Chains A and B, each alone.
Chain A
């Protein structure tokens, strides 16, 4: 005969085998006296985390959290971002929060970096990501096989055709277009991009 009284603290800790847990649940349904006792053990188990030391998080975690709930620095782009990348508004916010996560960025070269992110079904086959180019940096010369959408989130840049891109711009390029992109401003040039079939090619003289 299992001593159900003895199993209560183990149930509260979540360490029982499934059949024992079921036996405890059956007993709880029949004996209200056990319910309040279990609550005491659950409250006890619920305090154990306090034994740990507090550790201050990096500042970017809060920035990311606020972005994810719609109070971030890129919130004004969330609705457009959701449309371009075929994600929900909440999904857009969570992806925009990645910008403030240093662990997400991968270096491209000395002055630029990228985050690849997953987009919705309407973007199947596309390369979707954030690109950040430091002042003076250039995104290398390339041609796209399909169309390209660029949503500028911060800063400004000039492409090799002379086109100026500024914060808030949404630029759509046709298939076959080729260019590079140079940050001519004083702050990082940051954009979200949806591109199909990107080929890095030699820039014509």
Chain B
């Protein structure tokens, strides 16, 4: 199924062109996904300047790593998002971003310039369809990069319960997002 998804991904040709040194291809890939990646970065680091620096760095990294992109392993925008999330979490965990630094970033996130993507509604609805405790666990894991034990500490719930909530949530999300049947 993933191969079918990859084959239908129009970004794959852009990344191939980037690997061949086509600078316009990177410009186009940036135009297509920069605002989605910035939304993700802002959600994690909550500071517009830091988030925009990450945006530059992630697309530069994509330019340099274009040769290594394997379309059989998923979509281009997922490839970008994995890099962005990882860099943003590293930055968020370092001392460079103060906890209070980012209110401006959050404001920007909520104002009118923020737009939605075709998948935004689908994923948002899938997350919204989870029981509140499962959604909270998923958000702490994905957007804050916390491990099971850290989540357990953060919300004062036994680690076994955290694991069950995450597993149940992922199982439902997998089904809702069309990646497989629940409880095979």
* Contacts from A to B (Cβ < 8 Å): 6, 9-10, 12-17, 37, 39-58, 61-62, 64-66, 68-71, 94, 97, 101, 103
Contact = CB atoms under 8 A, between A and B. Distances in A.
Contacts of B53: 101, 103
A10 B148 contact: yes
Interface residues of B, number: 64
23 contacts: A9-B166, A10-B163, A10-B170, A14-B145, A42-B74, A44-B173, A44-B179, A48-B123, A48-B173, A50-B120, A52-B40, A53-B114, A55-B35, A55-B108, A56-B115, A57-B34, A62-B31, A64-B56, A66-B23, A66-B26, A69-B23, A69-B26, A71-B23
Given A17-B148, A41-B174, A62-B27, 14 more contacts: A9-B170, A13-B138, A42-B74, A44-B174, A44-B177, A50-B123, A51-B123, A54-B36, A55-B109, A62-B30, A65-B60, A66-B23, A68-B60, A69-B60
Nearest to A60: B52
A65 B26 contact: yes
Contact of A54 (B26, B75, B115, B180): B115
Contacts of B108: 55
Interface in B82-118: 82, 84-85, 108-109, 113-117
Contacts of B49: 103
B17 interface: no
Contacts of B30: 62, 65
Contact of B38 (A9, A57, A101): A57
Given A40-B180, A53-B115, A54-B115, A13 B174 contact: no
